[in-house]
Amino acid sequence: MAEVVIVRSMAAAGGVAADAIEQLVRRNPRAVLGLATGSTPLSTWTALAARNLDLAQVRGFALDEYVGLPAGHPQSYRSVITREVVEPLGLNPELVRVPADSGPLETAGDDYESAITDAGGVDLQILGIGRTGHIGFNEPGSSFASLTRIKTLTQQTRLDNTRFFDSPEQVPMHCITQGLGTILRARHLVLLAFGAAKARALAGAVEGPLTASLPGSAIQLHPRVTVIVDEAAGSDLVHADYYRYAWNNRLEWERI
Ligand code: PGA
C-alpha cells in the first residue's frame, strides 16, 4: 500500500518530498531523479533549493515532453526543467535528459528507455497526477506495461495546460511520455497532489480499482510509493484517518 501523507500546505508537502530526495542524495550523490513538470512539484524544488545541497552529480530524467513545439519554446518541458529545476537546484544540465531531446522522433522512446537503463534506473520519481488520472502524460487507456512513446493528449489535459499558453490551440496535441511500465521501474515513487480538482483522481489512484481507465492506479502495483497531498486533494480518500494515524505513529527508523 502507498504511504499517504496528508499535510496542511503545499510548502509542507514540498518539505516532505525534499526530505526523501535529500536522504537519497546524501546516500548516493550520483542518484538518478525522475523529474516532473507542472505546478505540482514546484514546492518540492523550492524546498530542495533552500537546503543548498550539492546536487551537481545528480542525474535526471524528465517524465515527458510536448511534441511539436519549436526548440527553445519557453513551455517546452526542456525549457521548464532548465528554468525550474536545473538552474535553481544547481544540477549539471548535461546530466539531465528530456524525452526526444536528441535523435529522430521515431526512435526517441527506445533511446530514452536505453538511457534510463544505462544510468542504472531511476531511484526516485516525482509525480503529479492530472484530473484525467494521468501520471506523466499517460492518459486513460494507457497500458500498465507501456514504455516511453508518443501519445495524443486528451482535450481535458490540453485545456488544463492552456494556462501556460496564450490560447488552447497553442497547447500541443501530442507528447512523448515515459510509460506506466517505465514509471513502475523507478525504485521509489513520490506522488504529490494539491487542490480539490485532484481529489477524485487521487482517491482513484490510491484506493480505486486497478484500471487503465485511471492510469494513476498503476501506483498500487509498486512496492514503494509515498503519496503527499493537501487536505483538499485528500478529501475523497476513504481511509484518510488511517493514513494520518499511520504517519503520526511511524517508527523512528522508517524512511519515507
Ligand atoms: P499540474 O499537472 O501539476 O500542473 O497540476 C499535473 C499533471 O497533469 O500531471
d(CA 256, CA 250): 10
Q: How far is the CA of 90 from the centre of ligand 1 (A)?
A: 23
What class is the 3-251 domain? Answer: alpha beta
Could you give the CA distance from residue 46 to residue 17 in angstroms, rounded to a whole number? 11
Which residue's alpha carbon is at the smallest distance from atom 8 of ligand 1? 130
Say if residues 59 and 34 touch (Cβ distance below 8 Å).
no
pLDDT (0 to 100) of residue 255: 67
Instruction: Work out which ligand 1 atom sits closest to the CA atom of 131.
Output: 8
DSSP label of 2 = -
253 — pLDDT class (breaks 50, 70, 90): confident
**CA 251 – ligand 1 centroid, Å:** 32
27 C-beta neighbours (distance < 10 Å), count: 10
pLDDT tens digits, residue range 12-60?
999 999 999 999 999 999 999 999 999 999 999 999 999 999 999 999 9
Choose the residue to mutate in 77, 160, 161, 228 for probing ligand 1, maximizing ligand atoms within 8 Å of C-beta. 160
Asked whether the beta carbons of 63 and 177 are under 8 A apart, the reply is: yes
| 155 Cβ contact partners less than 8 Å away, ≥ 6 residues apart | none
Ligand 1, atom 4, lies closest to the CA of: 38
The C-alpha cell of 223 is what?
512496492
Report helix, strand or coil for 3.
Answer: strand
Residue 252: pLDDT band with limits 50, 70, 90: confident
Regarding the beta carbon of 40 and ligand 1, being less than 6 Å apart is answered: yes
pLDDT for the residue numbered 19: 97
Rounded CA separation 151/67 (Å) = 9
Q: Given the C-alpha cell 534506473, which residue does it identify?
A: 121
pLDDT digits (tens, 9 = 90+) for 97-132: 999 999 999 999 999 999 999 999 999 999 999 999
Q: For helices 42-49 and 10-27, give the axis angle rounded to 10 degrees.
A: 60
| 153 residue type, one letter | L
Centre of ligand 1 to C-alpha 64, Å, is 12
The rounded radius of gyration (Å) of the Cα atoms in the chain is 17
CA distance 226 to 223: 10
Q: Which of 40, 32, 219 is nearest to 138 (CA)?
A: 219
